[in-house]
Chain A
């Protein structure tokens, strides 16, 4: 049986940042992420993990790409590089809103909505009724009592779990998470991580998780991307591939 076509296919994907007399370049020589796969980006702070996640979230414009395509399950592949070249932010936004859930490092919740409304927002945008899904997710993530509170009334860990629920509520094909447990204590971090992976696997989505302190050997079925840092004068080049 032929392998499933990859959700993400990247070749020669480059993002550069210049400033303060130094230059940073993220280079992805080749990357394939299959449907349902859980991929971990490991590296020190400043190694470009968040930059790569932003690129995969269609939230950051690459400087160059040989191939950069996105193929949600049961859909035709979309040439992301072409969309960026055409400056089609609405097209990228629609793909992101429909097929991608993104857990930001500090939650990224809207402060003027309750936790319930934050979780429901993606569904409402798509015109879907979240029904009892919010309650079920909240129960799994142990935030049922917090659903009617605003983010400012929640702890960091609770906000993180609300962000996870929001990323999963509209049943995306891809879930991206940027250091989802960085702001919580180790005990809670392990618990949140287990819940997160459990929910992702149940949903059948593929996931890309950035972390600087996870030990993937403890997480079976997870693929860690290859990573290397190269220095060339003032230029620091970070490579991820796999």
Chain B
């Protein structure tokens, strides 16, 4: 007997013959699956992006020292070696960590009292998604800096511009000032830093601190008392944990070490609770949607098999075996599922593209509002095909158990 190839042919011929009804089944499946794909797309795009931002945001990972203390190199080496530390760099006294004035000689715009923040390789403000696709280059030496967006606006400066920096001091009852030219190597986006500030290499910060302390900075030709020898100690530091989950532990260890710090722990806990609850709401909706989809799929296919009792009875009468009667609705269900999934994808893709375009301004590099990976689509397709085949096989098996004459009486 050539039952299997014959039943495959019959199933397809019937599906094609009833093309309008088949199209209705396909559209019905698409109507349920497409919103589900978009919902999951939003979950893996919007919800995950927000959660990722929460976890990765340098603002939430920063641990700021309260007050000043003397931190030696051994302390920095010890803390910097911890696996829960993402970035650590010494910082000078707050009073010394500012430029008196920055001037853009090209347009005459200037900025007074500009905070200087030490930076270096691995600085989350330069490397996280907040900094954009490539991120500004890390400034080096004594004549490079990265401006915050607010500072750049005030100065009318862009990357590559040259500015004149000034630091004032009072030494031996006389006011003195040091002027030197600096190059803007990059601009931080607003999301990374709101204040008017400049990210500068540690040596530049050390140089200005020394200058303010009345010391000479030979590299920049600034005169003053000779530089003290011996290892240097720093009053403050910039510290970032690897993730928001590491912040509380790190802060506790520092506190135990006698270092008072300020963190976003309370805000993080609040945001995490919100994230958890939002995720629960999403999964609840997704679960109800998925169950609805599977119920709708099963109901449609079961109804189709009921409708096909006559054909199945004739096929049985002609001598086709049970597996053929199961295969007949399964093949048709798989065709419906495949075409419905493709149609749902055809709806999902433009909707996802439109959402991502509409929200492009709010997105950072590599972020999407609506996103499904190929793996997600394959899982959706596999679930649809399996659900369809399972429902149809069950209905077909039930139909196959009926004696042919039961269906024939309707013929």
Q: With an 8 A cutoff between CB atoms, is B219 at the interface?
A: no
Smallest CB separation, B309 vs chain A (Å):
13
Which listed residue (B318, B322, B400, B403) contacts A97, Cβ 8 A? B318
- Give every chain A residue within 8 A of B318 (Cβ-Cβ): 96-97, 121-122, 125
A112–B13 CB distance below 8 A? yes
Taken residue by residue from 68 to 101, chain A's Cβ proximity to chain B (1 for < 8 Å, 0 otherwise) reads as 0000000000000000000001100110111000
- Give every chain B residue within 8 A of A98 (Cβ-Cβ): 319
Q: With an 8 A cutoff between CB atoms, is B256 at the interface?
A: no
- Give every chain B residue within 8 A of A94 (Cβ-Cβ): 1, 319, 321
A54–B400 CB distance below 8 A? no
Query: Which A35-67 residues sit within 8 Å CB-CB of chain B?
Result: 50, 54, 57, 59-61
B6–A125 CB distance below 8 A? yes
Q: Which of A59, A109, A127 has the most C-beta atoms of chain B within 10 angstroms of its own C-beta?
A: A59
Q: With an 8 A cutoff between CB atoms, is B18 at the interface?
A: yes
Taken residue by residue from 83 to 117, chain B's Cβ proximity to chain A (1 for < 8 Å, 0 otherwise) reads as 00000000000000000000000000000000000
B6–A110 CB distance below 8 A? no
Interchain pairs with CB closer than 8 A, number: 86
In the bound complex, CA of A105 to CA of B405 (Å): 12
Which listed residue (A54, A93, A125) contacts B408, Cβ 8 A? A54
- Known contacts A112-B13, A112-B17, A125-B3, A104 near B408 by CB under 8 Å: yes
- Known contacts A59-B408, A108-B408, A112-B17, A93 near B403 by CB under 8 Å: no
Task: Offer 14 A-B interface pairs, CB within 8 angstroms, sorted by A.
Answer: A59-B403, A60-B404, A93-B322, A102-B317, A106-B411, A110-B314, A111-B17, A111-B311, A112-B18, A112-B311, A113-B13, A121-B6, A122-B319, A125-B1
Ranked 7 nearest A-B pairs via Cβ = A97-B319, A112-B17, A60-B405, A54-B405, A59-B404, A59-B405, A90-B321
Starting from the known contacts A108-B317, A126-B1, A126-B2, 15 additional A-B residue pairs (CB-CB under 8 Å) come to A57-B404, A57-B405, A59-B404, A60-B404, A60-B406, A61-B403, A89-B403, A96-B318, A97-B319, A108-B314, A108-B408, A110-B14, A110-B314, A112-B14, A112-B16
Binding site for B on A (CB under 8 A): 50, 54, 57, 59-61, 89-90, 93-94, 96-98, 102, 104-113, 121-122, 124-127
